[in-house]
Amino acid sequence: MLKFTLMVILIGNQKGGAGKSTLCLLLAYYLSMLKKKKVTVLDMDYQASISGKFEKAKILENDPIYEVIPSDLKYFPALLELLNQNREEFVLIDLPGKMDDDLLIPIIGSAELIICPFNYDEFSVDSTVLFSLVCREINTLSPVVYVPNRIRATVKYETREEVDKVLSRFGGISPGISDRIDFQRVGTIHIPASLIPFFMPALEFIYSNFMRKG
């Protein structure tokens, strides 16, 4: 019988501000608190916002519910080697918002799932399509799932249907996540309960369709 091993999940998009770090925090919380899974977050984003929040939370709040490792891209092979010794673990990688470093190639290549948050605006869609093309060149096997982010109830997205049609050629599209100011308060330990109905459908979709359950 095959044993559940490490599952490397990338959260990336070439576009800055697409919501990568917030989605990474939400997914880490969802997997560790709600699904009782062991999670490690590798913060490889140049902005290091997750590790910043993690360090602050360690001082001000309780024990962390998952591990956050801030890391340069070059340490990825060593970290993966180390984490591979642990079984039954999800490794979430918050990627930088740039495709300018060859050190990204082994990271994209080792992913078992690529999660790509995006917004329905022209620049975000362009970057998302480009990110998808690059990922497909490097990693032909792993599925990609797109998460429509910052959806505003008052805006009529005229291109939404067309964008979804384009992205569905690369992978699955999850239910969207609404634009709420409370998402700025998402941390490594605390997540406002009021947000749960807004992000849960997207994460349930990803978990039930794309993740190994062990």
Partner 1 sequence: MSNIKSLADQLKSRLEEQKGLSGRTFPAELDEEKTDANDRKAKKPAVDTKGLRSFLSWRILIWMGRRKS
The footprint of partner 1 (CB under 8 A) covers: 14, 99-102, 104-105, 122, 125-126, 129-130, 133-134, 137-138, 159, 162-163, 165-166, 169
Residue 79: burial class (beta carbons within 10 Å; 0-12, 13-18, 19+): middle
Check if the beta carbon of residue 25 is closer than 8 Å to that of residue 53.
yes
Residue closer to partner 1 (CB basis): 4 or 123: 123
Closest approach, Cβ 93 to partner 1, in A, equals 16
Residue closer to partner 1 (CB basis): 72 or 126: 126
CA-based angle 196:201:204, to the nearest 5? 100
Closest approach, Cβ 162 to partner 1, in A, equals 6
Residue closer to partner 1 (CB basis): 63 or 102: 102
Residues in the chain: 214
Strands (E), 52-112: 67-70, 89-94
Residue closer to partner 1 (CB basis): 92 or 163: 163
Closest approach, Cβ 63 to partner 1, in A, equals 38
Residue closer to partner 1 (CB basis): 133 or 155: 133
Closest approach, Cβ 161 to partner 1, in A, equals 10
Contacts of 31 (CB under 8 A, 6+ apart): 37, 39, 66, 90, 92, 207
Closest approach, Cβ 159 to partner 1, in A, equals 7
Other C-beta atoms within 10 Å of 11: how many?
Answer: 28
